[in-house]
Amino acid sequence: MNETNAIIVFCTCPDQQIAESISHHLVSEGLAACVNILPGIRSCYLWQGEVETDDELLLVMKTHADCYQALQAAILTLHPYELPEVIAVPIDRGLPAYLDWISKSTQSP
C-alpha cells in the first residue's frame, strides 16, 4: 500500500450513543478500519454569530483515501449536527503492517 493512501478522519459527536452508532456503522460497512472514541472533549466554537461551548466526544477514524467520500456521506446521514466536523488528514508514514491492515480492512465503493 502506498502510505499516502491512508488517512485519519476526525469528527466530534454530542454523546456516547451517537459516537458508538457512527463508529459501528463505519467499521461494519468497511468504511473505516478502526475508530477511536475519545471522551472528555470540550469544544468552543463560533456558530451562527455566537460563541458556543459543548462537551463532545472525538472520533478518530483510520481509513483509506478511496473510502473518504462514502465515509463522509455516511457521517452526514447518521450525524445529528446540522454541520458536523469531518476533517481528513493524510498519514505520511506509519508501521507498514498497520497501514496494510487499514487497506485490507476497508472497502472502497
Going edge to edge, which strands form the sheet with 87-90?
A: 34-47, 50-64, 6-13, 87-90
Say what the pLDDT of residue 4 is. 58
**pTM of the model as a whole:** 0.93
Question: What is the average pLDDT score of the chain?
Answer: 94
User: What domains appear along the chain, each with residue ranges and CATH number?
Assistant: 12-105 (3.30.70.120)
Query: Which pLDDT band holds residue 107 (cuts at 50, 70, 90)?
Result: confident
How buried is 40 (Cβ within 10 angstroms: 0-12 exposed, 13-18 middle, 19+ buried)? exposed
Q: What percent of the chain is modeled with pLDDT above 90?
A: 94
User: With contact defined as beta carbons under 8 Å apart, do 88 and 7 qualify?
Assistant: yes
C-alpha cell of residue 70: 462514502
Q: What is the pLDDT of residues 96-106, one digit of tens each?
A: 999 999 999 99
Q: What radius of gyration, in Å, describes the C-alpha atoms of the chain?
A: 14
